[in-house]
């Protein structure tokens, strides 16, 4: 069952009922200011850091769900309602939500009044703009009263929902003309405030929540809106809000458009005040002036659309499969951008408080994003590397506002360092910019202790051989990619975090996954050494990689598949010998991607075991059989009920590793089958079961051992976005950036006749036409660039900024 449809021409998902199986959200903002908005107008916004600079309140875990947002209430002769249905939930004669790239447009109609609210964050602008159009669709004159509403967060979202003894006394606002300013704590150390404006004279206002709602009312029944009269309240302590009141007289057929801005301003210390206790509003007024007229809004929206068209034009497919088209051309790159911006900080499952930017996550997000805006990827790599320690280890996360490592989340996840090599190599391959390797980058943000980025990569690489266990496999530390495989944790205290609790000295537990990752990313480090003329370095690294390959086959292979790990006692995890957790997906994907066991046929065996043991119609589960009880020596993985999350859920992040591995051994039909099982557009018809947005990936789909097999959770912020983009665009469709050009190496279903890719690469545009006359999965029989035949599979960089025709014949 569906709850809407794709509108590919407008690059939108159109939701046709407010009662989706879960709030279906969108993101606004591209650089510093961001908002989350659901199909019923719920959500919140923040400046750079969802924890430390939150503008509006949002209550997670609320009843009803998703209650809190930027709302426009309509009062129409005693009747009142909201165009997004929530929070008033009055029946609507028409409802539609269009989530587009960086904007959301919600339309509701009731009793001859149609309201459209279009929300977006303009480029280079620290605020949300709302264009609200109210139309009289009836044949009589209408007097409509509009009430806007936002509730302010007192900046620090964590403190805001815990520190009531202080917070209920500090709220302050200021009013001038049609603008409500929120200035809590501005009198002391903050140099920032927010404001909510509308572009016409108002007929009243409210800034005190209790006056607006009534102490015992919810957002569904504000007393001011019910009465149709503002109370002109001025907040002093308690909970500051901003509500404008506007009276609109509309002739039959008439429509009026208003523009609201919810903005953020920082003032330099010496420019904070205009007079005692009167904030300097110059910057706010300049921001408001930019959107005084609806035409300015339309122009800004057009700029946003052009921005997105440009980004999406970097990789485009022409194919007969419309679902594939909308994933590759629109929604997957869009999600990659959002995850790159947010890491795992703010979604409807991530509270914006718990997590900053992950070291491993951000490096992986970059893989799907780097072709869109390489300059920002470059900056991100430097930021991430600056939080690394000089022994190569890393903070697991850093705060985006301060760009410093987050001590609360700790260090010692032994896969982290390797992802820096992978992120950096992806950047260099995309851009050819080797100069990044010479950048001087601090360790742990200490400018007195720094080295080149290349040196950081070297320390990342050697962190593995410097930390080997009894079998010569990498020590796992706190955990590897699987945050929940906590082999040195031994936690028996309720509520203790498995990721940060004091670990026992771990010199035994080893990870086969990290071994695979080392062999997978190592060759990029070797190539970078060679290109810097470091032949000796390169040869040494190569020997270490070769050694790790052999060790993995010797101690990390279980006969039919790769083992997962050795625990603290040196016992196997992910082996036939285990009662539960006999086979795991991660090492099968990663080791085969790395090429381990490919020649001997063991890789194929491992991937066949995945089909036999882990496959379901909703995707591949993480392991089997699930853990039926808590194992103190395994940690969080066994804390989840069977079928959910890391305990045998379909963890969508690692399914693409299997796609890439299948492509590695040439099984194109299988690679695409795995792709289409979890790609959201292919699951749209089962939205009632899947429940999450059909336009973006979720982190997890419940596995076959779960009660709700096929139900997704944790949509939007997941490494799934970037890895699926890499799997489909590089491994399956086969256009892969390499140090010297674009490598062409498709691995597709045999039945496909062909497709065309337009790829912008280092300033040139390549129109790559791929045909498959002999219906093979893999193998390039002929490659021509502008009519000239090329030997090998790499399209060299032409470098003239023009469009070039590439023809590829498979066979
Ligand atoms: C989450 C984390 C990611 C981790 C994965 C598996 O997605 O963000 O870092 O690799 O879970 O535990
Ligand atoms: C929990 C989640 C896991 C995530 C981790 C991050 O363990 O299950 O997916 O990676 O938290 O801290």
Structure tokens at 132: 């609200």
Q: How far is the CA of 484 from the centre of ligand 2 (A)?
A: 6
Closest ligand 2 atom to residue 700 Cα is 9
**Do the beta carbons of residue 582 and residue 576 sit within 8 Å?**
yes
Cα 439 to the center of its chain, rounded Å: 27
Q: How far is the CA of 549 from the centre of ligand 1 (A)?
A: 25
Q: Whose CA is nearest to atom 7 of ligand 1?
A: 718
Bridge partners for 247 per DSSP = 145
**Residue 416 beta carbon below 6 angstroms from any ligand 1 atom:** no
**Residue 481 beta carbon below 6 angstroms from any ligand 1 atom:** yes
**Residue 645 beta carbon below 6 angstroms from any ligand 2 atom:** yes
**Residue 360 beta carbon below 6 angstroms from any ligand 1 atom:** yes
Q: Is 483 a catalytic residue?
A: yes
**Residue 46 beta carbon below 6 angstroms from any ligand 1 atom:** no
Q: How far is the CA of 719 from the centre of ligand 1 (A)?
A: 8
**Residue 361 beta carbon below 6 angstroms from any ligand 2 atom:** no
How are beta strands 698-701 and 712-715 bridged, if at all?
Answer: antiparallel
Q: How far is the CA of 636 from the centre of ligand 2 (A)?
A: 9
Closest ligand 2 atom to residue 396 Cα is 12
**Residue 12 beta carbon below 6 angstroms from any ligand 2 atom:** no
Closest ligand 2 atom to residue 499 Cα is 12
Q: Which of 399, 339, 337 is nearest to 158 (CA)?
A: 399
Bridge partners for 108 per DSSP = 95, 115
**Confidence (pLDDT) at 403:** 87
**Do the beta carbons of residue 44 and residue 23 sit within 8 Å?**
no
Structure tokens at 173: 């606002």
| 3-class DSSP assignment, residue 192 | strand
Q: Whose CA is nearest to atom 10 of ligand 1?
A: 481
Q: Which numbered ligand comes closest to the C-alpha of 344?
A: 1
Tally of CA atoms within 13 A in the half-sphere of 55 that contains its CB: 31
Structure tokens at 389: 């320690």
Q: Whose CA is nearest to atom 7 of ligand 2?
A: 484
**Do the beta carbons of residue 261 and residue 129 sit within 8 Å?**
yes
Which residue out of 339, 653, 698, 717 has the highest number of ligand 1 atoms within 8 Å of its CB and is therefore the one to mutate?
A: 653
Closest ligand 1 atom to residue 344 Cα is 8
**Residue 399 beta carbon below 6 angstroms from any ligand 1 atom:** no
Q: Which of 654, 156, 566, 158 is nearest to 360 (CA)?
A: 654
**Residue 647 beta carbon below 6 angstroms from any ligand 2 atom:** no
Answer whether the bond into residue 660 is a cis peptide, omega within 30°: no
Separation in Å, CA 490 to CA 500, 557, 568, 574, 584: 12, 26, 10, 19, 21
Q: How far is the CA of 627 from the centre of ligand 2 (A)?
A: 17
Q: How far is the CA of 414 from the centre of ligand 2 (A)?
A: 16
**Do the beta carbons of residue 721 and residue 656 sit within 8 Å?**
no
Integer Cα distance of 544 and 467 in angstroms? 13
Q: Which numbered ligand comes closest to the C-alpha of 419?
A: 1
**In whole angstroms, how large is the CA radius of gyration of the chain?**
28
Closest ligand 1 atom to residue 479 Cα is 12
SS (H, E, C) 357-374: EEHHHHHHHHHHHCCCCH
**Residue 646 beta carbon below 6 angstroms from any ligand 1 atom:** yes
Residue with token string 């899947």: 690
**Do the beta carbons of residue 365 and residue 342 sit within 8 Å?**
no
CB atoms within 10 A of CB 218: 13
| 3-class DSSP assignment, residue 709 | coil
* Angle, CA 294 vertex, CA 289 and CA 297 arms, to 5°: 75
Structure tokens at 225: 């809106």
* Angle, CA 167 vertex, CA 161 and CA 173 arms, to 5°: 115
Tally of CA atoms within 13 A in the half-sphere of 342 that contains its CB: 33
Structure tokens at 408: 């609360």
Q: Which of 448, 449, 446, 398 is nearest to 420 (CA)?
A: 398
Residue 328 DSSP code:
I
Q: Which numbered ligand comes closest to the C-alpha of 644?
A: 2
Integer Cα distance of 2 and 241 in angstroms? 37
SS (H, E, C) 69-87: ECEEEEEECCEEECCCCCC
Q: Whose CA is nearest to atom 3 of ligand 2?
A: 483
- Give me the helices (H) in 414-511, please: 416-431, 453-463
Residue 619 falls in which region: left (phi positive, over 0), alpha (psi -120 to 50) or beta: left
Q: Which numbered ligand comes closest to the C-alpha of 354?
A: 2
**Residue 567 beta carbon below 6 angstroms from any ligand 1 atom:** no
Q: Which of 624, 562, 626 is nearest to 595 (CA)?
A: 562
Render the burial of 358-386: b for 16+ CB within 10 Å, e for the rest: bbbbbbbbbbbbbbbbbebbbebbbbbbb
Q: Whose CA is nearest to atom 11 of ligand 2?
A: 483
Q: How far is the CA of 8 from the centre of ligand 2 (A)?
A: 34
**Do the beta carbons of residue 392 and residue 460 sit within 8 Å?**
yes
**Residue 393 beta carbon below 6 angstroms from any ligand 2 atom:** no
**Confidence (pLDDT) at 506:** 79
| 3-class DSSP assignment, residue 658 | helix
Integer Cα distance of 722 and 369 in angstroms? 7
Integer Cα distance of 125 and 102 in angstroms? 13
Q: How far is the CA of 391 from the centre of ligand 2 (A)?
A: 25
**Residue 146 beta carbon below 6 angstroms from any ligand 1 atom:** no
**Residue 582 beta carbon below 6 angstroms from any ligand 2 atom:** no
Residue with token string 């009793």: 111
- Please report the beta strands in 673-811, taking only residues with DSSP state E, as ranges in sequence order: 698-701, 712-715, 735-738, 741-744, 754-761, 764-771, 780-785, 788-789, 794-796, 803-810
Integer Cα distance of 26 and 105 in angstroms? 11
Answer whether the bond into residue 64 is a cis peptide, omega within 30°: yes
* Phi, psi for 676 (deg, rounded to 5): -75, -15
Q: How far is the CA of 104 from the centre of ligand 2 (A)?
A: 30
Q: How far is the CA of 519 from the centre of ligand 1 (A)?
A: 21
**Residue 361 beta carbon below 6 angstroms from any ligand 1 atom:** yes
Which position among 49, 66, 361, 483 bears the catalytic label? Answer: 483
**Do the beta carbons of residue 590 and residue 563 sit within 8 Å?**
no
**Dihedral sign (CA 587, 589, 593, 595):** positive
Answer whether the bond into residue 87 is a cis peptide, omega within 30°: yes
Q: Whose CA is nearest to atom 6 of ligand 1?
A: 482
Question: At a CB cut-off of 8 Å and minimum separation 6, what does 778 contact?
Answer: 663, 666, 668, 745, 746, 747, 748, 810
Residue 477 DSSP code:
B
Q: Whose CA is nearest to atom 5 of ligand 2?
A: 483
Q: How far is the CA of 721 from the centre of ligand 1 (A)?
A: 13
**Do the beta carbons of residue 777 and residue 668 sit within 8 Å?**
yes
Which residue out of 344, 496, 646, 703 has the highest number of ligand 2 atoms within 8 Å of its CB and is therefore the one to mutate?
A: 646
**Residue 482 beta carbon below 6 angstroms from any ligand 1 atom:** yes
Q: Which numbered ligand comes closest to the C-alpha of 409?
A: 2
**Residue 372 beta carbon below 6 angstroms from any ligand 1 atom:** no
Mean pLDDT per segment of 10 residues, for the chain of length 811 residues?
A: 98 98 97 97 96 96 96 98 98 98 98 98 98 98 98 98 98 98 98 98 98 98 98 98 98 98 98 97 98 98 98 97 98 97 93 89 96 96 97 91 82 96 98 98 96 98 98 97 97 92 89 98 98 98 98 98 98 98 98 98 98 98 98 97 98 98 98 98 98 98 98 98 98 98 98 98 98 98 98 97 98 96
Integer Cα distance of 259 and 37 in angstroms? 18
Q: Whose CA is nearest to atom 6 of ligand 2?
A: 483
Question: How does DSSP assign 234-279, residue by residue?
Answer: --BSS-EEEEEEEEEEE-TT-EEEEEEEEEEEE--GGGSEEETTEE
**Residue 199 beta carbon below 6 angstroms from any ligand 1 atom:** no
Q: How far is the CA of 553 from the centre of ligand 1 (A)?
A: 26
Integer Cα distance of 595 and 661 in angstroms? 8
CB atoms within 10 A of CB 194: 28
**Confidence (pLDDT) at 402:** 84
Structure tokens at 412: 């010692």
Q: Which of 227, 209, 228 is nearest to 218 (CA)?
A: 209
**Residue 499 beta carbon below 6 angstroms from any ligand 2 atom:** yes
Separation in Å, CA 705 to CA 256, 621, 624, 644, 710: 54, 9, 9, 8, 10
Q: Which of 432, 439, 347 is nearest to 384 (CA)?
A: 439
Q: How far is the CA of 382 from the centre of ligand 2 (A)?
A: 25
């Amino acid at each position: 069952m569906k709850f809407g449809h794709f509108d590919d021409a407008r690059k939108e998902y159109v939701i046709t009922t407010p009662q989706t199986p879960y709030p279906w959200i969108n993101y606004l903002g591209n650089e510093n200011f961001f908002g989350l908005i659901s199909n019923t107008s719920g959500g919140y916004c923040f400046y750079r850091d969802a924890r430390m600079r939150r503008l509006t309140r949002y209550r997670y875990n609320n009843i009803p769900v998703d209650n809190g947002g930027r709302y426009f209430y309509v009062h129409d002769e005693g009747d009142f309602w909201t165009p997004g249905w929530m929070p008033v939930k009055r029946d609507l004669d028409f409802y539609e939500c269009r989530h587009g790239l960086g904007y959301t447009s919600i339309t509701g109609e009731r009793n001859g009044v149609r309201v459209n609210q279009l929300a977006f964050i303009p480029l280079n602008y620290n605020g949300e703009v709302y264009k609200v159009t109210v139309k009289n669709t009836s044949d009589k004159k209408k007097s409509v009263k509009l009430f806007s509403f936002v509730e302010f967060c007192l900046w620090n979202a964590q403190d805001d929902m815990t520190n009531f003894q202080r917070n209920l006394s500090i709220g302050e606002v200021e009013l001038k003309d049609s603008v409500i300013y929120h200035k809590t704590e501005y009198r002391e150390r903050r140099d920032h405030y927010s404001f909510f404006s509308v572009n016409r004279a108002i007929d009243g206002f409210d800034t005190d929540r209790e006056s607006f709602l009534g102490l015992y009312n919810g957002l569904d029944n504000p007393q001011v809106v019910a009465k149709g009269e503002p109370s002109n309240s001025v907040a002093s302590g308690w909970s500051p809000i901003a509500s404008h009141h506007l009276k609109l007289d509309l002739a039959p057929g008439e429509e009026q458009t208003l523009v609201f801005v919810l903005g953020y301003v920082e003032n330099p210390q010496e420019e904070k005040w205009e007079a005692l206790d009167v904030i300097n509003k110059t910057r706010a007024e300049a921001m408001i002036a930019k959107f005084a007229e609806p035409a300015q809004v339309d122009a800004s929206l057009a700029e946003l659309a052009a921005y997105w068209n440009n980004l999406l034009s970097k990789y485009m497919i022409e194919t007969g499969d419309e679902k594939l088209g909308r994933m590759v051309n629109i929604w997957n790159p869009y999600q990659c951008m959002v995850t790159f911006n947010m890491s795992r900080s703010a979604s409807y499952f991530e509270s914006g408080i718990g997590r900053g930017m992950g070291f491993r996550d951000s490096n992986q997000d970059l893989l799907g994003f780097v072709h869109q805006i390489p300059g920002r990827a470059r900056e991100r790599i430097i930021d991430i590397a600056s939080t690394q320690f000089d022994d190569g280890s890393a903070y697991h996360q850093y705060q985006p506002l301060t760009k410093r490592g987050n001590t609360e989340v700790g260090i010692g996840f032994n896969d982290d360092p390797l992802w820096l090599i992978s992120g950096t190599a992806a950047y260099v391959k995309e851009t050819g910019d080797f100069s990044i390797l010479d950048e001087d980058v601090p360790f742990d943000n200490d400018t007195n202790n720094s080295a080149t980025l290349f040196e950081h990569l070297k320390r990342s690489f050697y962190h593995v051989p410097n930390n080997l266990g009894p079998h010569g496999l990498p020590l796992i530390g706190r955990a590897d990619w699987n945050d929940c495989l906590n082999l040195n944790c031994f936690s028996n205290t309720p509520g203790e975090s498995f990721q940060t609790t004091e670990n026992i000295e771990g010199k035994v537990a080893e990870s086969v996954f990290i071994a695979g990752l080392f062999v997978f990313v190592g060759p990029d480090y070797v190539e970078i050494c060679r290109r810097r003329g470091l032949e000796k370095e390169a040869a040494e690294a190569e020997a270490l990689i070769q050694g790790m390959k052999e060790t993995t086959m010797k101690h990390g292979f279980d006969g039919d598949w790769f083992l997962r790990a050795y625990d603290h006692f040196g016992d196997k995890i992910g082996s036939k010998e285990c009662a539960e957790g006999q086979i795991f997906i991660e090492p099968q994907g990663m080791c085969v991607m790395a090429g381990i066991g490919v020649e001997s046929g063991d890789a194929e065996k491992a991937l066949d075991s995945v089909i036999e043991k882990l496959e379901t119609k909703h995707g591949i589960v993480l392991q089997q059989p699930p853990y039926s009880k808590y194992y103190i020596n395994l940690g969080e993985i066994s804390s989840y009920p069977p079928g959910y999350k890391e305990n045998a859920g379909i963890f969508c992040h690692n399914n693409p590793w299997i796609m890439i591995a299948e492509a590695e051994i040439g099984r194109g039909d299988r690679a695409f089958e795995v792709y289409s099982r979890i790609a959201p557009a292919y699951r749209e018809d089962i939205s009632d079961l899947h429940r999450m947005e059909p336009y973006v990936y979720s982190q997890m789909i419940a596995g076959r051992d779960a009660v709700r097999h096929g139900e997704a959770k944790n949509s939007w912020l997941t490494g799934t976005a970037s890895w699926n983009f890499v799997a489909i665009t590089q491994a399956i469709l086969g256009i892969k950036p390499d140090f010297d050009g674009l490598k062409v190496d498709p691995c597709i279903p045999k039945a496909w006749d062909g497709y065309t890719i337009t790829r912008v690469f280092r300033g040139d545009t390549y129109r790559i036409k791929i045909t498959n006359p002999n219906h093979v999965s893999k193998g390039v029989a002929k490659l021509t660039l502008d009519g000239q035949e090329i030997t090998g599979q790499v399209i060299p960089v032409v470098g003239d900024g023009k469009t070039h025709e590439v023809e590829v014949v498979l066979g």
